[in-house]
Amino acid sequence: MSGLDKSRQHVLLQLSEALSVAGRRSDTCQLIAVSKTFPASDVRELYACGQRAFGENYVQELEQKHAELADLVELEWHFIGPLQSNKTRSVAQIAHWVHSVDRLKIAERLSVQRPVGLPPLNVLVQVNVSGESSKSGCLPDEAAALCRAVVALPGLALRGLMCIPEATTDELQLAQRFDVMQHLLTDLRAKGLSVDTLSMGMSADMALAVQHGATMVRVGTAIFGRRHYPDA
Ligand SMILES: *Cc1c(COP(=O)(O)O)cnc(C)c1O
């Protein structure tokens, strides 16, 4: 077993333990392997081990890896980074999911630019759950209105919500953030929207997010190791 496979297996084990503790079925939370800054060869290696869903933050990197890995037909690309309106086109063409829709303009562009032969792009509305002004995401109060607007766009399929809480080791605070998200999703359902996805939890807080209803966790470091940013 390679190092990458081993760390992925370890994460999958943690995930199934967290699900079991939460009294949830083992197939109710999907692992998104966040491959940003790591080479396409790592993605290929994990694909060979059975991993299908990969997350990327940067449009150019997504484009490059998509081109290099075009032969992996079951690979599912999740775009999870901040999205500027002049960069939406290739995301609309390449991605299967976008987790980071936080304003209508971005949603409209993605919808118009989604190629006609493809199924609607799966979309999550990103919520700025910690209220930090530096963070992307709409305010919790704005989420329902944005979701309704996304539902009306033919190129998109609204699936649910995503958040990136503030970096903190305070578990109570994080639990509170995840709880807000869980309630927001319930609230959307009560408003008649059919949503099934809550994308929250990363390497450090995956188990906590699962306790609060996460159906997708986005894990980078725990699988690939520490990232080295070229621009850092
Ligand atoms: C980088 C990133 C992750 C992965 O974070 P880790 O702490 O490395 O697991 C998850 N979600 C988003 C939006 C990210 O940018």
Ligand 1, residues 58, 83, 202, 219: which to mutate, most atoms within 8 A of Cβ?
202
| pLDDT computed for residue 151 by the predictor | 98
For ligand 1, say whether the CB of 37 is within 6 Å of any of its atoms.
Answer: no
For ligand 1, say whether the CB of 33 is within 6 Å of any of its atoms.
Answer: no
Quick one: angle between helices 171-190 and 143-151, nearest 10? 50
Q: Tell me whether strands 97-101 and 121-127 are parallel, antiparallel or unpaired.
A: parallel
Are residues 123 and 152 in contact, defined by beta-carbon separation less than 8 angstroms? no
CA atoms within 13 A on the CB side of 47: 20
Helices and strands of the chain, counted as H and E runs: 9, 8
Tens-digit pLDDT profile for the chain (232 aa)? 689 999 999 999 999 999 999 999 999 999 999 999 999 999 999 999 999 999 999 999 999 999 999 999 999 999 999 999 999 999 999 999 999 999 999 999 999 999 999 999 999 999 999 988 777 999 999 999 999 999 999 999 999 999 999 999 999 999 999 999 999 999 999 999 999 999 999 999 999 999 999 999 999 999 999 998 765 4
- Closest atom of ligand 1 to 202 CA is 9
Distance of CA 200 from the midpoint of ligand 1 (Å) = 10
| pLDDT computed for residue 231 by the predictor | 54
Q: What is the spatial distance between Cα 147 and Cα 130, in angstroms, rounded to a whole number?
A: 19
| pLDDT computed for residue 11 by the predictor | 98
For ligand 1, say whether the CB of 146 is within 6 Å of any of its atoms.
Answer: no
